[in-house]
Each structure stands twice: as structure tokens, then as C-alpha cells.
Structure 1
């Protein structure tokens, strides 16, 4: 059975991504065609990229990189829960992605963006990065608005239609993850 990592793409205090990732996980775990796991980049304590060799060579020298590599290698696909910071993704997520290369290759990804405009610009920025890493991002994405999916910008309370958005995205990620597993094998 394929395994999908739900990546919390922020390390910021007071971040909204953790609550969103848990909500996505609760929807996802009802499926019987994949296993899902939340991966919080904050728990890996990755410094600014500090490996001497480019990641495509997989010559890691730091324990934190080895731990991160092992975790990402476990997955056949990903759901990126990504905040929009200044029309792009968080620096913490970009840094975490940049630590690795081959661990990402030929896998599928879905995007759950959040921000004032539903994280649309962050999602588009992330798509360019994913393309370089040979990650097939699916078309369906989830756009969580700080205005309509939160009470007073604090308490996460997604609009009823959002669950269907997640289900549509998950359908595509699971299908593509299964297909790309044959490419990696």
C-alpha cells in the first residue's frame, strides 16, 4: 500500500498549518487505498542548508539531513500544507525541500494552500519547485482562506465545501502516487 506524507510547511509560532494538516489527515485516514502520516518540518530542526555537496549526489554528512532523507524516502507521495508568505512559500519549507533531491523524484504531490487569498500564490511558487524535483503535482488543490475558513483569523473552521476539495485532491494524489511507484521500481 502506498504511503503519503502530509507535510506541515511552516515552523512559525502560532502557525495555522498544523491544524489544517490534522484536518486533512482526518479526512485522508478514512481511505483504505493509502496510508497517511503528518510530517512536521518543525520537528526536524533543519538549519539553513549546511551540506557541502549538492543534494543530487546524496553525500550527506549531517545527522539532521540523514534523518530527513530517511523520512522523505518512506513516502510515495505528498500533500504540502503551505502558507503564503509574500506571494510564495515559507522559507522553512523551501529550505527543507532543498536539503534533498532524489528522495523527491518521481512521486506525486497535492497542495493545500492557505492565506488571505487561499494560498494561491504559494501554490504556484511551489509548483515550479516541485517540477524541478520531478514531482508530479496534481491539478486539484485546496485553497484555505484566512477570511472564510477561520473564526477571527484564529480558530480553524473550514467551510463545508472544503472537505470535497480535499477528497478530490486526495483521489488524484493517490492515483498518481500508485502510477509513479511503477516508474521508481
Structure 2
């Protein structure tokens, strides 16, 4: 049996972003966990323009190659972790844009968040994303990972150093994602009765 695929999505695309070293740290924990086929997906590399599809994504009829590539990437995922910054008490535009491009590809799959920022530790970004992912039919975990004062956690070499207890918190999120992925995956593959 193949492992479910966990996509760790780097939500920030701006130069100097802290999301990539954080996502790299989380990816390392997911690989060590060994319950998932963990993949790092960087929205800066995906390179989506501002939503430019003429039809609603629910139809799944995409005109542009970048949308078809993004659809295929997301479709192969069984669970997602969005690594998101908090900007102005909310999430960033690149994350929302990436979510809005698609519909059916996200539905029925679990999602968790690693939020980061200043004193609020990305909590407001995560809170604002919950109704968005719910409207896409995703199943958000009740717990998230929050990183306060993120600037102090990045080394001069650009590596993320986790605070005491953060690795355990993140591993707990991965455990819960695996439980939920297994349950939801079984529900998606079970034929309806009747």
C-alpha cells in the first residue's frame, strides 16, 4: 500500500520570506514521522498569476497551463499543511489566490496550518483561513502550529530553529493529519450503499 501524500505548501512568495525555512523544518519532521510521502510545494515556484481563469473553478474546465499544472499537483495530495504568514491581522494574498484557483481538487481532504508572525504567532491568519478551506470542502484540524516572533527563530544562515516543545507540537499535528487522512481516504473510496 502506498503512503498518502502530504503537501506542505509554502504560502509566502515574497523575497526574504521566512516561510521557506519553516516549511523545510516541518517537511523534515514529516519525513522523519514516515507516515506520509511528504512533499514540499513552494508557491513561489508554482508561479500562479492572479486568478485569470474565465470560468468558475467548480467546473474544472481550465484554460491555462499553469492552472492545469496546479490542479494536477493539488489533485495528487491527500492532505495539506499551509505554512502561512500573518499580514495585517490576516493571511497573505498568494495563499488565497492558490486556494481560489481550484475547487474539487481540495474537497474532502484534511488541512492543517503552520502560522507565523509576531506576537499573535500567525493565529489570526489561521483563524481567517478556516472558513475559506471549509467552503472548499476541506476538513481543517482543530489544532495548528503557531510560531511567535519568527524573526528571532531564523539563523543568520537562513535556517529555522524551533523553540522548545515546537517539534512535539508539529509532530502531534502530523499524527492527527494521518489519522484524519486515513479516515477520510477510506470514506472517499468506499462505494455508496444502495
- Please confirm whether the aligned pair reaches a TM-score higher than 0.5, indicating the same fold: yes
8 Å Cα contact 1:110/1:169 also seen in 2:
yes
- Residue 78 of structure 1: SS of its match in structure 2? strand
Q: How does 1:39-50 map to 2 (within 5 A)?
A: 39-50=41-52
Q: Name the structure 1 match of 2:170.
A: 166
Q: Find 1:144's aligned residue among 144, 147, 165.
A: 147
Separation (CA, whole Å) in 1 of partners of 2:170 and 2:61: 37
Structure 1 stretches of 4+ with a deviation exceeding 6 A read none
- CA offset at residue 33 of structure 1? 2.1
- CA offset at residue 119 of structure 1? 0.1
TM-score, normalised to structure 1's length? 0.95
- Residue 81 of structure 2: SS of its match in structure 1? strand
Q: Find 2:27's aligned residue among 25, 30, 40.
A: 25
Q: How does 1:36-75 map to 2 (within 5 A)?
A: 36-75=38-77
TM-score, normalised to structure 2's length? 0.91
- Residue 182 of structure 2: SS of its match in structure 1? helix
State whether structure 2 residue 130 is matched by structure 1 residue 130: no
Separation (CA, whole Å) in 2 of partners of 1:184 and 1:151: 40
More strand, by proportion: 1
- CA offset at residue 151 of structure 1? 5.3
Q: How does 1:7-18 map to 2 (within 5 A)?
A: 7-18=9-20
Separation (CA, whole Å) in 2 of partners of 1:129 and 1:96: 12
1:120-159 C-alpha deviation (Å, 9 max, x unpaired): 0000011111110111111121001125852589763220
How many residue pairs are counted as aligned between the two chains? Answer: 185
- Residue 59 of structure 1: SS of its match in structure 2? coil
Q: Which moved more, 1:27-36 or 1:123-132?
A: 27-36
* Residue segments in structure 2 that go unaligned for 5+ positions in a row: 190-194
Looking at CA atoms only, which structure, 1 or 2, has the larger radius of gyration?
A: 2
* Residue segments in structure 1 that go unaligned for 5+ positions in a row: none
Structure 2 vs 1, CA of residues 32 and 151 (structure 1 numbering), >3 Å: closer, same or farther? closer
1:67-112 C-alpha deviation (Å, 9 max, x unpaired): 0000000111001101001111110110011000000000001110
